[in-house]
Structure 1
Amino acid sequence: MSSPSPASDRVALIGCGALSTDIAEICEQRGWAVDHFPLPPLLHNSPKEIAPRVEALILELMATHERIAIAYADCGTYGALDEVCLRYGVERLGGDHCYDLYAGADVIADLSRQEPGTYFLTDFLVLGFDRLVWRELGLDRHPDLRDDYFRHYRRVVWLASRDTPDMRRAAERAAGRIELPLVVRELARTGEEGQAPFAQSLAVLLAGPLPQRTDPHEGTPAGASQITSHVMEADRNRSFQPASGQPETSS
């Protein structure tokens, strides 16, 4: 009887917590054995902290993992994250921000050219809009601040990976809260192999032979992935606080 692969044989994936659900779905769909170390989405409110936090985690994981990858785009670090990646010989996801990851950089650029005043929402922001945007911006206490944050926006574009009736109602409610019309841009489901941009980007990041989940009783690859998520206790309950104007979420 064989035992599961030791941690050193697995890929350590450091990423934004806003991407956690999609990372888990992709890894499960492809059967990858990955140890996922999510950092809080809150860091996007202080992007200067992203590179140092990633570097500290790289240094910690070098003792236990042979392969480390970074599930962040640049995310407002203006090259600082790239410097960290270069220093330690690790790769990150491409793109400037999470919207590029989900829809593709060309699509985001085109939507922004069509209407520069576009406020993007991902599924993550739709689900947590009240907590992550409305309350964190203080609009629940001071609704008169709406124009201070959103006067330059003309529409909300929801980058919909999961366009269900419940999600659509949540997106409509979010757009209504900030008094903007909603445009739904349907994307390929994250878990659809070879289709969704984020799935493609993650596959490129993790290119090469990846350890597969092993059934400890049979010693053969099992049907589902073995993804382990390690959430730092101090970050477990911290919510993302968007900066003024357009929030950046998922990397």
Structure 2
Amino acid sequence: MTDTPAPPDDATLTVSGMAADGRASTLLIACGALAREILALIRANGWTHLDLMCLPAILHNRPDRIPDAVAEAVARHRPNYDAIHVVYADCGTGGLLARRCAELGVSMLEGPHCYSFFEGNETFLARAGDEFTAFYLTDFLVRQFDAFVWKPLGLDRHPELLPTYFGHYETLVYQAQTDDPALDARAQDCAARLGLRYERRFTGYGDLQPAIAAWAASA
């Protein structure tokens, strides 16, 4: 399949076929790691009244910065939209993002992180007790493994650190949003590089799809 191009790091994307008055009524402020999935859902469902802007996915390396980045984006775009929704889960902010969204009067995704809502929050929670030695990758992280995992951890320069970082992991679980043999092969390579058993688990969009569908319906 052909990948949907990722958006620029802080760009509002107007999906073709906007509202009749030329103005989309609802903005989704999202993590850049979810761009392809959100755009695919918008196009597949004809949600022409939704716009998307993405914050840099690399913010996940400093989750303490996510609440302020989201608040600034909400303040900047609020005058132009009837509704704004935040397409982030907690994502390592320790509840700070949820509190900030409540203060701003905007809704956000339920769940601790994207691994949970892609799996389905209830399913992920039910598995959690048996998977505390699992390391998860999504489609995005398979594509960006070097940029978001290998190089930031210094493993390209210091491979001897691998046991320090991953010595307590046993399995790499690839949560696949799409059926893409090329991504599957890349995910298997990631597991081999980390010295972990490999498991591919097709999740599709999980809880992301009904959440955006509900926001689209309420607009």
What's 1:75 paired with? Answer: 91
TM-score between the two structures when normalised by the length of structure 1: 0.75
Residue 37 of structure 2 corresponds to residue 22 of structure 1 = yes
What amino acid sits opposite 2:109 in the alignment?
A: L
Indicate the SS of the match to 1:13. strand
Cα distance in 1, alignment partners of residues 198 and 166 from structure 2: 14
- Partner of residue 132, structure 1: 148
Select the structure that is richer in helix: 2
Matched residues, number: 200
Mapping of residues 200-211 of structure 1, within 5 Å: 200-209=210-219
Percent identity for Structure 1 against Structure 2: 35
| Residues in 2 aligned to 1:109 and 1:156: alpha-carbon distance in whole angstroms | 18
From the CA coordinates, give the structure whose radius of gyration is larger. Answer: 1
- Counterpart selection for 1:60 from 43, 67, 76: 76
Listed as ranges, the matches of 1:1-251 within 5 Å are 4-7=20-23, 9-33=24-48, 34-188=50-204, 190=205, 196-209=206-219
1:145 to 1:110, Cα distance in 2 relative to 1, 3 A: same
Preserved contact between residue 135 and residue 172 of structure 2 (Cα < 8 Å): yes
Q: For residues 163-193 of structure 1, what are the alpha-carbon distances to aligned partners after superposition, in whole Å with 9 as ceiling and x for unaligned?
A: 32211111100001101010111223x4xxx
TM-score scaled by length of structure 2: 0.85
> Residue type of the partner of 2:172?
V
How far 1:63 moved relative to its partner? 1.6
Q: Is the 8 A contact 1:92 1:205 kept in 2?
A: no
Q: Is the contact made by 2:47 and 2:216 (CA closer than 8 Å) also made in structure 1?
A: no
Q: Which has the higher contact order (CA 8 A, sep 6+)?
A: 1
CA contact (8 A) 1:123 1:160 kept: yes
Stretches of structure 1 lacking an aligned partner (at least 5 in a row):
191-195, 210-251
In the alignment, which residue of structure 2 is the partner of 1:226? none
- Secondary structure of the structure 2 residue equivalent to 1:182: strand
- Residues 31-61 of structure 1: CA deviation (Å, up to 9, x unaligned): 1122211001111111111111111111111
Structure 2 unaligned residues grouped into runs of 5+: 1-18
Residue 11 (structure 2) aligns with = none
Alignment RMSD, CA only? 1.6
One-letter amino acid of the counterpart of residue 203, structure 1: A
| Aligned partner of residue 78 in structure 1, secondary structure | coil
